Amino acid sequence: MELSTIAGQSIPTFPLYSTDEKAIPLLGFGTAEYPFGASIHTLKETILEAIKLGYRHFDTAAIYLSEQPLGEAISDALRLGLIKSRDELFITSKLWCSDAHHDFVLPALKKTLQNLKLEYLNLFLIHWPLSLKPGKYEFPFQKEDIVPFDPKSVWEAMEECQGLGLTKSIGVSNFSCKKLETILSTAKIPPAVNQVEMNPLWQQKKLRKFCEEKGILVEAYSPLGAKGTAWGTNRVMECEVLKEIAQAKGKSLAQVCLRWAHEQGVCALVKSFNKERMKQNLDIFDWKLTADESHKISQLPQCKGFPGAAFLSDDGPYKSVEEL
């Protein structure tokens, strides 16, 4: 992977495939909190703080309720001169499952852009390989709302969004190798990104190899295990091997996880709404893990934090975690 840095910033960037997009900063600021919208009234200020600290890549989604505060923070950052132009930012949002129907994709993106007060996204992702009956935006959702997902027609609509210039690039999230194969078999524009759960306890080795071969950048969500959320556990933050490595290096366990993700060639998306931890999480680019430390991490027993039981149903497309 060739790395370059944005002027004045310490975060390395990587050029995305199949897009005219300049480059994606390889550390992003996650805005999903649990429950969604829990600190909606302070989120704008938190994001402004993140911009001040040097974050330039922000990850949101229609379902997170963070699009509007992010949009307000961007407007304020421009007004305050923290950034000179919107082009200095990399903004990702995601299509919720109830809009994962061909004719709903473009209106959903337009609504997202309206929430963000932006003319274009840098990256628009299909949030899950699943469709829900249109009209409701809720998570968890009702199993009876799960309806057949047609990847071909949804992806065609995503391609139209890129063609219209409303997003610079398109991709997917939570897609397995098999589901990526399905998209790739008909895609005119291949997905630039697959955003998935990834951390030392769920390393995604097979999926990462597949994505590398296809030129798809992997983005890691829950790089610290997302403790305290419906999709995370304490296991990563309580892992003894990681604690020992962190202690020996004089780094925090979170920094070890983020550095490890970086050294695997992926883009990590980390969420902290605490100023000190936001700062700490940026401080991962001028030191390395040793071969021995990387080896110890590679040997950790694997356990998925979010098996996705909510997405399984007897009548829907996925009856088991394996199928999902």
- 3-state DSSP assignment of residue 274: coil
Size of the site for ligand A2P (CB under 6 A): 19
> Based on CB atoms, which residue is closest to ligand A2P, 28 or 190?
28
> What is the spatial distance between Cα 271 and Cα 257, in angstroms, rounded to a whole number?
13
**Of the candidates 270, 282, 297, 324, which one interacts with ligand A2P according to CB under 6 A?**
270
| Selected range binding ligand A2P among 3-11, 185-193, 205-213, 217-225, rule: CB under 6 A | 217-225
> Based on CB atoms, which residue is closest to ligand A2P, 58 or 149?
58
> What is the spatial distance between Cα 145 and Cα 76, in angstroms, rounded to a whole number?
38
> Based on CB atoms, which residue is closest to ligand A2P, 21 or 49?
49
For residue 25, is the peptide bond before it cis, meaning its omega torsion is within 30 degrees of 0? no
Q: Bridge-partner residues for 171, per DSSP?
A: 125
Is 127 marked as binding a ligand?
yes
Minimum CB separation from ligand A2P for residue 65, in Å?
A: 16
**Of the candidates 195, 222, 233, 264, which one interacts with ligand A2P according to CB under 6 A?**
222
- 3-state DSSP assignment of residue 174: coil
> Based on CB atoms, which residue is closest to ligand A2P, 142 or 234?
234
Q: Does 109 bind ligand A2P (CB under 6 A)?
A: no
Q: Residues 267, 138, 37, 201: is their CA dihedral positive or negative? A: negative
**Of the candidates 280, 294, 296, 317, which one interacts with ligand A2P according to CB under 6 A?**
280
Q: Does 69 bind ligand A2P (CB under 6 A)?
A: no
Q: Which pairing describes strands 27-30 and 167-173: parallel, antiparallel, or unpaired? A: unpaired
Cα(first)–Cα(last) distance of the chain, in Å?
30
- Among residues 135, 207, 140, the alpha carbon closest in space to that of 173 is found at 207
Q: Bridge-partner residues for 147, per DSSP?
A: 131
Mind telling me the catalytic residues? 64
Q: Does 254 bind ligand A2P (CB under 6 A)?
A: yes
What single DSSP character describes residue 204?
A: -
Q: Does 28 bind ligand A2P (CB under 6 A)?
A: no
> Based on CB atoms, which residue is closest to ligand A2P, 50 or 146?
50
Q: Does 272 bind ligand A2P (CB under 6 A)?
A: yes
For residue 69, is the peptide bond before it cis, meaning its omega torsion is within 30 degrees of 0? no
Please report, as ranges, the residues that interact with ligand A2P according to CB under 6 A: 30, 222-228, 232, 252, 254, 270-274, 277, 280-281
Residues of the binding site: 127
